[in-house]
Chains A and B, each alone.
Chain A
Amino acid sequence: MTSGNEISQVAPEGRTLINVRTGMFGATGDTTGYDLMNTVVTMPGATERPYGSWFDDAVDILAELLGDKADEAIQYVVVDRGELTLHVAREHLLDVVRHLRDDQDLRFEMCLGVSGVHYPADAGRELHAVYPLLSMTHNRQLRLEVSVSDEDPHLPSVTSVYPMNNWHERETWDFFGIVFDGHPALARIEMPDDWVGHPQRKDYSLGGIPIEYKGAEVQPPNERRQYR
C-alpha cells in the first residue's frame, strides 16, 4: 500500500502494524483527492496491569524465574478477548518455554504447535511465530508470540523442550520460511522438496488461474477486487 501521508504509516509503540488502508471500498488509493482517508490497522496493543484473572500471577512467576532477564525477555503483554499473549524476545524464547513447562505453578505441558503469521507492513518484524500453550494441570491457555525480520528469519527451535513441535516447526518453515535453529531435521513437510518459495506468506501469490466459462472469464480470488 502506498500513501502520501507517511506519518500515518507508523504503528503506535508496542503494536503490530497489520496494514495501512487508503481510500474506501477497496479502490486503489485515496480517491477523495484530500489524501486523508488513511486507516492504520494494528493488532491490540500492550495491556497495562492489572491484567485480571490468573494472568498477573503467571506473568509474575515467569518474571521471577527469568530474574534480571525478565524485562528483556518479555517485551510486552497483551490481554485481549480474555486471552493472554506474551511477546517474547527470540534470544530468550528457550528460557521462557522451559520455565513455562517446568515450574509447578505454570506447568504448560503442551505446546499446540506454532502458527506463522506474515505482517509485511510491520517493518523489521515481518514474521511472527505464535505458540499456543496449554496447561492441563491448571486448565489454562496462553500464547507466546515471537517476531523476526524477513532478512534474519531465525528462531530457536523449541523441540528440545516440546518434542511435539517437531512437525509444526517444519510446517512453519515450509509455509513461511522461518528457520528454526536447532531443529533436528528442518525439511519441507507439506510441499514437495524442490518447491520454490514459501506459499503462505503474503508476498506469495495464491496461484489461482482464471476460469473461463462460455466466453466469460472469472479471475481467481486473489486477483479480484478486494472489499477490505
Chain B
Amino acid sequence: MHIDENTPDAGWFTGTLEATVGFLRAGSLWPVTFGLACCSIEMMATGTSRFDISRHGSEVFRGSPRQADLMIVAGRLSNKMAPILRQVYDQMAEPKWVISQGVCASSGGMFNNYAIVQGVDHIVPVDIYLPGCPPRPEMLINALTTLQDEVKKQPLWQSRRKEIAAAAEAAALKATPTSDQFGLLR
C-alpha cells in the first residue's frame, strides 16, 4: 500500500506497539553465521542470487553473535563443538531464535554415533526443526517465513525462555507419549 499526503484519509496509522514491533522484528531477522557442515553450504546458497534470502530481510549474516537475532544451526554438531555453540548462543542478545537446519542438527540424523550430539536441542532451545539432508534453500526460506509468523505474534516484555519452557511443558503434558502410540509406525 502506498501512503502519502495524496492518499485519501491518510495521516493516521493505528495499531498496537506489539504488532508493530513484531512486524519489524520479523522483517529483519539477522542470522549469525553458524555454518557447521553440508547445510551451511545450502545456507550460503540461500543467501545468493537464485534464492535470495534478502527478499525476507535476512541476508545480513553477522559474524558477531551480539548483532544477530537468529541462529541457524546448519549441520552436524560434534561433542567438541557443542560448548562453543552454547557460548555463541549465550552471547546473542535477547530476543533470539534458533532454526535447527537439517536432520543432523535436529536429531543426529544418520550419524548415530560417539561423535555427534543427537540433536542440538540438547544444547540450545530450538524454535524450528527443519528436516532434509541437506534441506533445499527453498525449505530454509520456508522455515524462515514460518519463524517470522511466530515472531510477529510474539508478545513484548516477556522472558522468552520462561515462555518456551512453559509452552513446552504444557504441550508435553497434553500430548500422548510416543511410547504409547502403538500401531502408527509406517
Direct touching of A and B (C-beta under 8 Å): yes
Does B14 reach chain A (CB closer than 8 Å)? Answer: no
Residue B115 interfacial (CB < 8 Å) = yes
- Looking at chain B's contact residues, the main secondary structure is loop
Give the chain A neighbours of B80 by CB distance below 8 A: 191-192
CB nearest neighbor in B for A205: B114
The interface residues of chain A lying within 8 Å CB-to-CB of B113 are 206-208, 220
Instruction: List A contacts of B108 (CB < 8 A).
Output: 209
Give chain A interface residues in 197-228, CB to chain B under 8 Å.
Answer: 199, 204-209, 211-216, 220-221
A199 to B108, alpha carbons, bound, how many Å?
18
Interface bracket on B: 10 to 19
Residues 95-109 (chain B) with a chain A CB within 8 angstroms: 108
Distance in angstroms between the alpha carbons of A220 and B144 in the assembled complex = 32
Closest B residue to A209 by beta carbon equals B118
- Please state if B181 and A206 are interface contacts (CB–CB under 8 Å): no
B159 at the interface (CB under 8 A from A): no
Query: A215 contacts which of B112, B114, B115, B179 (Cβ < 8 Å)?
Result: B179
State whether the Cβ of B180 lies closer than 8 Å to any Cβ in chain A: yes
Residues of B close to A220: CB separation below 8 A? 112-113
The residue of chain A having its C-beta at the shortest distance from the C-beta of B180 within the complex is A215
Q: How far is the CA of A191 from the CA of B179 in the complex (A)?
A: 34
Contact residues of B between 46 and 84, Cβ < 8 Å to A: 79-80
A211 touches B178 (CB 8 A): no
B13 at the interface (CB under 8 A from A): no
A13 to chain B, nearest CB (A): 36
User: Could you list 5 further interchain pairs (A-B, Cβ under 8 angstroms) beyond the known A209-B108, A215-B178?
Assistant: A204-B114, A206-B113, A206-B114, A214-B184, A214-B185
Can you offer 11 A-B residue contacts whose CB atoms are under 8 A? A192-B79, A199-B114, A206-B112, A206-B114, A207-B113, A211-B112, A212-B179, A214-B178, A214-B182, A215-B184, A220-B113
